[in-house]
Chains A and B, each alone.
Chain A
Amino acid sequence: MLKIDNLVSGYDNLKVIQNVSIKVNPGEIVSIIGANGAGKTTLLKTITGILKPVSGSIFFDGQDISSTKTEKIVHLGCSLVPEGRQVFAPMTVRENLILGGYVQYKRKLGSDVLPYLDRIYKLFPRLLERETQFAGSLSGGEQQMLAIGRAMMARPKLVMMDEPSMGLAPLVIKEIFSIVRMLRDEGATILLVEQNAKAALRLADRGYVLETGKVILEGSSKELLENDDVKCAYLGKTKKDT
């Protein structure tokens, strides 16, 4: 579904991503783990066309999207749940979700938007309760649900999530991960980027470990969870967090 080869990308002269190759197969959950500054967000921004790659190729559904505009990439079926949620704060929850379904209108499938909105509300009953509230007034966890719901409204073939657990309380993180699990059970293809390595790997089928812009390890989640380096890095992380 997604195939990235030798990708180099970054900001101006700073090459944050160096020769990264990643693959996501249909129906898979792949997680990319790594510490702050490893280039996880840069990688996702490059895939969605917000940043232009310096070199390398990005194929989505067999189509080269390395120089495609963000709008078009979303239209093709590749959605991003951005880091820090990025909901439309001065707009209502409902408006946020409807706008998420905007590409469906462009695909001439506008009649599917409202029925699917009901499904999203079933997945996230909390959003239904808050339907007419401004997105900016929601709690962090609710905003994260809204951001995920908004991305799902586009009916993407691939959902990429950039640190959905960032800045949330442990209980809320649990909830968010159970939502991701629910999406997986429905057959969604997900690329999950996380600092919360343990939780992400438990959820994923396969994983990549990103360090200073390079993939230093890849394998099935089980292998990675048992890998000593990963364990060590993971322990180091918990030390820092507590």
Chain B
Amino acid sequence: MELLLQYIVAGITYGTIYAIVAIGFNIIYNTTGIINFAQGEFVMLGGMTAFTLKEYMPLPVAIICAVVITMIIGALIEIVFIRWLHKPSVLRMIIITIGLSILIRETALHIWGEGVTALPYFTGTSVTSVNLGGVFISPQVFWAVGISSIVVILLGIFFNFTLLGKQMRACSANREAARLCGISTQNMVTFSFMLSAAIGALGGCIVSPITYISYDSGSQLAIKGFTVAILGGLGNSTAAVAAAMILGILESFSIWALPAAYKDVVSIAIMLIILFVKPSGLFGNAAAARLKEY
């Protein structure tokens, strides 16, 4: 029984990370209709930048700075590579974002080398654990789950109750009508890149002590995040959180049943099954999907 709970806790931990990456995908997808395959790279950049910065400043400040820097990089990517494209095709966008992800990864390799880095645990060390009814939980898990939950709640508030959030939703619902309301859709796209870069970077900082981060961690996280985004139904961030928990827990049980090397197979298999069987996602509602433009 304890073992079962232990697996579930591990699953939830990974699930929160996947959720954060998936939310990043969804934010950009919603405002632009693009899948940004460089999303995982934002996570990597966040973790790596924070690792370098923490030599010069306290950890919380380093994390904040890393998030801001990644956010600026996100904005620059949009302004330099995406903004001037006039109604690009989906294929073109996929190739551009994959290209960008390679560019960022290689740049990271030059800056940080091949080494694996990890931020220190936010509280305690790698061996500290909290005993909760026989289940040993690392305090970093509480940080990961806690911060991710706060991010999800804040995003909910942002999109539903602020004028800027409403503008972004309007842009996602109907771009031309948004422009006819005087909303600068171009700025909304830049902003969505900044927001998802920031969220990705924050995710990278949270996950770094648990999973370690290296220059090439991004693509793996991107695949997991993409799987989760699809599993939940593209564009739906609440569903993404639920889907992320499902994937995290399934993965963690796969270690119990199968050799650990097969862990990634689970997520790829799920992605393929979903794409074949129900591309609108587990929670994708055909009626709700019809209310959207695309």
Chain A residues within 8 Å of B, Cβ to Cβ = 48, 50, 69-71, 74-75, 79-80, 82, 86-91, 95, 98-100, 102-103, 105-106, 134, 136, 150-151, 154
Contacts and interface: CB of A to CB of B under 8 A. Distances in A.
Interface of B: 163, 166-167, 169-170, 173-174, 176-184, 288, 291-293
A87 B288 CA distance: 15
Contacts of A91: 166, 169-170, 173
Given A71-B183, A99-B183, A134-B291, A105 B166 contact: no
Given A74-B179, A89-B291, A103-B181, 9 more contacts: A71-B179, A71-B184, A88-B170, A89-B292, A95-B166, A99-B166, A100-B181, A150-B181, A151-B180
Contact of B170 (A75, A99, A151): A99
Given A80-B180, A89-B292, A154-B181, A102 B167 contact: yes
A48 B176 CA distance: 11
A80 B176 CA distance: 11
Contacts of A99: 166-167, 170, 178, 181, 183
Nearest to B173: A88
Contacts of B178: 88, 99
A62 B262 CA distance: 69
Interface of B is mostly: helix
Contacts of A89: 173-174, 291-293
A90 B182 contact: no
Contacts of A86: 174, 176-177, 180
A166 to B, nearest CB: 16
B29 to A, nearest CB: 14
Given A88-B169, A102-B167, A105-B163, A71 B182 contact: yes
Contacts of B176: 50, 82, 86
A70 B181 CA distance: 9
A26 to B, nearest CB: 21
Given A89-B291, A95-B166, A105-B163, A154 B182 contact: yes
7 shortest interchain CB distances as A-B pairs = A103-B182, A74-B182, A136-B291, A88-B173, A86-B177, A89-B291, A70-B179
Given A86-B176, A86-B177, A90-B288, A102 B183 contact: yes
A48 B178 CA distance: 13
Nearest to A151: B180
Nearest to A113: B163
A82 B183 contact: no
Nearest to B169: A91
B157 to A, nearest CB: 14
Contacts of A88: 169-170, 173-174, 177-178
Contacts of A106: 182
A90 B180 contact: no
Contacts of A82: 176-177, 180
A154 B183 CA distance: 11
Contact of A87 (B167, B169, B177, B179): B177
Nearest to B185: A71
A74 B288 CA distance: 30
A134 B174 CA distance: 14
A68 B163 CA distance: 24
B179 A90 contact: no
A213 B43 CA distance: 53
B110 to A, nearest CB: 39
Of residues A70, A100, A151, which shows the largest number of chain B Cβ atoms within 10 Å of its Cβ? A70
Nearest to A74: B182
Q: Residue among B166, B180, B293 with the most chain A CB within 10 A?
A: B180
B191 to A, nearest CB: 14
A123 B121 CA distance: 59
Contacts of A69: 184
Contacts of B173: 88-91
Contact of B181 (A50, A74, A90, A134): A74
